[in-house]
Chains A and B, each alone.
Chain A
Amino acid sequence: MEELELLPVRTRILTDKDNIVDMIVKYAQENVGPDDVVSVAESVVAITQGRITRPEDLKICFLARILCRFVPQKGSLSSVYGMQSAMDAEGQLRILFAMMIGMVAKVFGKNGVFYELAGPQAALVDDVTGTMPPFDKCLVYGPHEPKQVAEEIKRRLGCFGAAVADVNDLKRAAVLGVSEGLDPKKLARILIDNPFGNASQRTPIVIIKNYGKVEQRSEGKA
């Protein structure tokens, strides 16, 4: 009886000159079967989409200098460049509004309101050091249209499904986009141990083997 198996796929360092789907076909196709789900690290998808910027290229506004001070140190928005890049992506006023409401909510014991209101990029932007060389000196935004990327991967590889996932070593996993029919929460649970590894640019693809068969079996039992 087939069980789920996670198979990381090593690639060369991918850059904005690469097409992520072409690269997955090139490096992973031979190991992908019709019952497998192909997942890819969101930061690498973003890099291949050119969604990176250097701190030196950002123009810092007064508001970014102030608001970054109110973000705990471990967060990407705690640096003035992380905050500025979130503002550039989501708008200054939206971030300001989210921050003010988030602070009030925190006073009343509700955490996470800022990220709920500030827009997806506020949670997805990676500050410098967030990725491995040569992108360690860059900020990386979240990927553009991850669902479409997942659909395209599925179409090209003929696999059971595909997903774009944001996973880290702190046991946090979020699936940003999936092909039709997949449950992102279920995939997040499968990927929670970060099979991409700490330096996900080296193994940016993880094949979830036998997903379709295991899914069918569990549906049959249900």
Chain B
Amino acid sequence: MEFLMSIVVLCVLVSIGVWLFIARQGDAEFEFMVKDRTPFILEELTETTATFSCKVPFMNKGTQDGTIMDAYPRHLLPYEQFDGVEVTSRMELMTAPRTDNYFEAVIIPYGTGGAVAITVIFTAKKGSIQAALDEMCELTVDMAIDIVYQIVARTPWYIHKTRMMMTCTEIMDAMQTKSAAN
């Protein structure tokens, strides 16, 4: 009986020890710092399209290395809100630029981070993009963009979303800055 009790006590102690070890070890913890992002700038303007981009820093604030397996921007502009443009968006690592909207999985050591570039392309459904974006601004339409990212680390994978807003004021500012520069 005493032997059995010793085994049980030993198992409990080992379990507590493992639990404490894991709790102390922690895990990766990612944050996309949308408050610290750069303003959108107008990269390219044609008769029917306008291409904007901004940079968003991110950080692994946790205590373990983590992998961003996938990440992409999800723009949200329903036609009920504004029907004058079609939107496409993509996201890429600043350290691994590419234009195919493929996010190559990357390990981010704890305590470090990086930045992603988000590109948003508006295409006018009718007429010029300038007129469409003017109308968007008149209607004070701001567009939400969710940064969606899939993380895998010591724990099973999970998907997080961080929301940022692309305001119509920001769009107009970027258009004016570009035209002033020209």
Q: What mask results when residues 118 to 153 of chain A are scored 1 for a CB within 8 Å of chain B, else 0?
A: 000000000111001110110000000000000000
| Chain A: minimal CB distance from B128 (Å) | 37
Instruction: Collect the chain A residues with CB atoms within 8 Å of residue B31's CB.
Output: none
CB atoms of A128 and B105 under 8 A apart: yes
Q: What mask results when residues 13 to 27 of chain B are scored 1 for a CB within 8 Å of chain A, else 0?
A: 000001001100100
Instruction: Collect the chain B residues with CB atoms within 8 Å of residue A136's CB.
Output: 104-105
Q: Does B165 contact A (CB under 8 A)?
A: no
A80 interface neighbour in B65, B69, B107, B156, Cβ under 8 Å: B156
Give the bracket for the number of chain A residues in contact with chain B.
20 to 34
A137 interface neighbour in B18, B21, B69, Cβ under 8 Å: B69
Q: Does B137 contact A (CB under 8 A)?
A: no
Instruction: Collect the chain A residues with CB atoms within 8 Å of residue B25's CB.
Output: 69
| Chain B: minimal CB distance from A65 (Å) | 7
Instruction: Collect the chain B residues with CB atoms within 8 Å of residue A81's CB.
Output: 152, 156-157
Q: CA of A60 to CA of B158 in the docked complex: distance in angstroms?
A: 13
Q: Is the interface of A mostly helix, strand, loop or mixed?
A: loop
CB atoms of A79 and B102 under 8 A apart: no
CB atoms of A129 and B156 under 8 A apart: no
B67 interface neighbour in A65, A66, A79, Cβ under 8 Å: A79
Q: Does A56 contact B (CB under 8 A)?
A: yes
Instruction: Collect the chain B residues with CB atoms within 8 Å of residue A134's CB.
Output: 102
CB atoms of B153 and A79 under 8 A apart: yes
CB atoms of B157 and A55 under 8 A apart: yes
Q: Does A68 contact B (CB under 8 A)?
A: yes
Instruction: Collect the chain A residues with CB atoms within 8 Å of residue B157's CB.
Output: 55-56, 81
Given A69-B25, A78-B65, A128-B105, 16 more pairs with CB closer than 8 A? A56-B157, A60-B156, A65-B155, A66-B22, A69-B18, A74-B65, A79-B154, A80-B155, A81-B152, A128-B67, A128-B69, A128-B152, A129-B67, A129-B106, A134-B102, A136-B105
